[in-house]
Amino acid sequence: MVASAIGHESGSITLPGLDPGLSDAFDAPIRPVDVASFHSPLTRMLVSSDGSTTRLLEAATAGPLSIRVLRQTVAPALHATLQGPAELLGLPADASVVSRYSALLDDQARPVALNHVVAAPAIDAPTDQIIADPSRAIGIALALHQIDHRRQLLACGLADWPSAPGPTPAVVRTYLIWRGRQPLMFIRELFDPARVPAQIHDAPRSRPAGQAVAAPHRRTRERADRSRPTSPSAPDYRLGSSDTERQRLLAQCDLLRPAARALLDRLPLPDGARALDVGCGPLGIMDLLSAAVRPGGQVTGLDTDERMIAWARESVTAGRLANVSLIHGALPSPALGDGLFDLTHCRLLLINNTQPGDLLREMAAVTRPGGWIAAQEFDWASWQCDPPHPAWDRLKTVIAEVFGGDVHIGARLPTLFREAGVARVHMAAHAFYWRPGDRYQTLLLHFAELFAHRITANGTPPDALQALTHALREHLTHPDTVVREALLVQAWGRTAERAPVP
């Protein structure tokens, strides 16, 4: 039977050889790390695996493991340590959840992993029996009951292993277990760093050629044969991740929301669809995708910047987007798998990328055959002020030279889509106009300030740059000056259907 209790009893969980503050280890903050950044192949395999953690650890440690349930309660979903998992499970605020703390032990009763499982009570008899059974690990019990399921990685990184005399960085991951379109449980696993190495590279590595995860269709095998020095979705995002940039991006989300909504209205998605927002930033279009995938659907946000992912978590929590999960990483990512998403989307990501064609091919690879690929990108050709001014033209030119991507990429989307194997490409465009006092009236000046060092390093004297910005600022504040924003170009199409097996 599951005991009924409320709250997290500090210090109520103990294990021999570990620090008395063991309870805190189950809730310690995760320091995000991309899967590919872990040095150990064992660690990368364990974190990205869709199989039983217990069986994988038994294979790695060359011995049987047993489970010890340390504490199991039924508690309100509003409890601080349970609210996030409960929202991911789609449970209302007034629900109760089963909270199970356990440890996997080796044959000498030494802990190999610490686990926290959160599940809704009374899902059905087999699932309730699995959660209430203290003798078996969750994955093994699911297999024994022949319950078809899949795992969805939510986050991975480092957290503190409560070793004596002091904490040690350890690998941690969180994921959901799904049965069909229903999330069954949230699981957090923290691994003993003596068994699962926690060392990381100085910078995220691309997956080496030939080490792509198993793929359901030919396109992925072809992708695994290509060798690249860096991942195409981890560009030098030259606008940075300052608080100012966060506010600009969130304001941009509000500005572009009607256009994004119009795009999604054109893309019929099945009930329970899975959608991926690549380069999601602090929000992207994840709020709109959350509604578009309908009940039972799931949205994943992916970003290479740790601060962006942290801000995205705040947005997801504030918006109560229970069907949205976040991954700190880049494409290709073992955490995502291949051919799984009904819709893969990016907005204003290709314009910041020096290999946009490669990125689109990676997006196609994680999209199921016949699924949707969509992109929204600016084309600076239409970014003009009226009346015209030479300072505008000169500043736009010198900024474009150091921007780091193709500022006219919107016009290239049809070709890039076709080269990535996307068929039946459709296009739409949206234009915006600004007057003095509007936030985006002076965006070009903001870019000039942001890129000032690069502009002067590229050959524009500092005094000339200062004179240009001064002249343009006076022109843009004139009540008759109108700015036509860069054209927002949208493209969408379907990936190739899988060829029938002879």
410 closest CA partner among 386, 382, 384: 382
User: What mean pLDDT comes out for the span 50-64?
Assistant: 74
Of the chain, the percentage scoring pLDDT greater than 70 comes to: 78
Judge whether 428 and 411 are in contact, CB under 8 Å: no
Q: Which two tokens stand for residue 113?
A: 């992993």
In this predicted structure, what is the pLDDT of residue 208? 34
Ramachandran region of residue 197, left (φ > 0), alpha (ψ -120 to 50) or beta?
A: beta
Chain length of the chain: 502
Q: Which of 110-124, 201-215, 358-372 has the lowest mean pLDDT?
A: 201-215
Which of 112, 111, 79 shows the shortest CA–CA distance to 98? Answer: 79
The residues, any chain, with a CB within 8 Å of residue 247's CB and separated by 6 or more, are: none
- Tell me the pLDDT band of 69, cut-offs 50, 70 and 90: confident
Query: How far is Cα 234 from Cα 28, in angstroms, rounded to an integer?
Result: 28
Between CA 465 and CA 462 the distance in angstroms is 5
Which of 108-122, 253-267, 391-405, 463-477 has the lowest average pLDDT? 108-122
**Which residues face 326 on adjacent strands?**
301
In percent, the amount of the chain with pLDDT more than 90 equals 41
E strands in 257-365: 274-278, 298-303, 324-328, 341-347
Backbone phi, then psi, for 344, in 5-degree steps? Answer: -120, 125
Pairing between β-strand 482-484 and β-strand 433-434 as defined by DSSP bridges: antiparallel
Confidence of residue 248 (pLDDT cuts 50, 70, 90): confident
Measure CA of the first residue to CA of the last residue in the chain; give whole Å. Answer: 52
CA–chain centroid gap for 86, Å, is 19
Q: What whole-number distance in Å separates Cα of residue 437 and Cα of residue 479?
A: 9
**What pLDDT does 53 receive?**
78
Residues 6 or more apart from 467 whose CB is under 8 A from it? none
Flag the least confident range among 95-99, 449-453, 454-458, 462-466.
95-99
Reported as a single tens digit per residue, the pLDDT across 107-136 is 888 888 888 888 877 666 666 667 666 666
Please tell me the predicted confidence (pLDDT) of residue 482. Answer: 97
pLDDT (0 to 100) of residue 187: 86
Pairing of strands 367-379, 66-76: unpaired
Token output for 314: 């705040």
Q: To 10 degrees, the CA torsion angle through 474, 476, 478, 483?
A: 170
Higher per-residue confidence, 376 vs 104: 376
Please state which of the ranges 203-217, 366-380, 450-464 shows the lowest mean pLDDT. Answer: 203-217
Q: Residues 177, 185: contact at Cβ < 8 Å? A: yes
The lowest-confidence range among 18-22, 89-93, 162-166, 176-180 is: 18-22
Task: State which H helix or E strand residue 390 sits in.
Answer: helix 390-402
Say what the pLDDT of residue 223 is: 36
pLDDT at 46: 82
* Tokens 């949230």, residue located: 186
pLDDT band at 37 (very low <50, low <70, confident <90, very high): confident
For 388-396, which contacts have Cβ atoms below 8 Å and span 24 or more sequence positions?
A: 389/471, 389/472, 389/475, 391/468, 391/469, 391/471, 391/472, 391/475, 392/444, 392/472, 392/475, 394/468, 395/444, 395/445, 395/448, 395/468, 395/469, 395/472, 396/444
Residue 362: pLDDT over 50:
yes
Contact (Cβ atoms closer than 8 angstroms) between residue 496 and residue 376: no
Task: From 136, 128, 102, select the one nearest 117 (Cα to Cα).
Answer: 102
Instruction: Give the residue, 89 or 145, on which the prediction is more confident.
Output: 89
Residues near 241 by Cβ (< 8 Å), separated by ≥ 6?
305, 307, 308
Mean pLDDT of 14-33: 69
Distance CA 498, CA 491 (A): 22
Mean pLDDT score, 448-454:
91
Taking only the tens place, the pLDDT of each residue in 282-304 is 999 999 999 999 878 999 999 99
Report the alpha-carbon distance of residue 289 to residue 317 in Å, rounded. Answer: 15
Q: Are the CB atoms for 354 and 235 separated by under 8 Å? A: yes
Q: What is the mean pLDDT of the chain?
A: 81
Contact present, 282 and 246 (Cβ < 8 Å): yes
Is 231 within 8 Å of 206 (Cβ atoms)? yes
List the one residue out of 117, 155, 119, 159 whose CA is nearest residue 25. Answer: 159
Encode pLDDT of 299-353 as tens digits. 999 999 888 999 999 999 999 999 999 999 888 887 787 678 999 999 999 999 8
Q: Calculate mean pLDDT across residues 216-223.
A: 35
Query: Residue 73's closest CA among 152, 125, 15, 12?
Result: 12
**Position 364 pLDDT exceeds 60:** yes
Q: Which of 32-41, 213-222, 223-232 has the highest mean pLDDT?
A: 32-41
Does pLDDT of 90 surpass 80?
Answer: no
The dihedrals phi and psi of 123, each to the nearest 5 degrees, come to -70, -55
Assess whether pLDDT exceeds 70 at residue 236. Answer: no
Q: What is the C-alpha to C-alpha distance for residues 118 and 367, in angstroms, rounded to an integer?
A: 29
The average pLDDT across 375-389 equals 96
Kindly state the average pLDDT of the residues 26-51: 79
> What's the whole-number mean pLDDT along residues 79-103?
78
Q: What is the average pLDDT across 478-501?
A: 87
In the predicted model, is pLDDT for residue 96 greater than 70?
yes
Q: Mean pLDDT across the stretch 448-464? A: 90
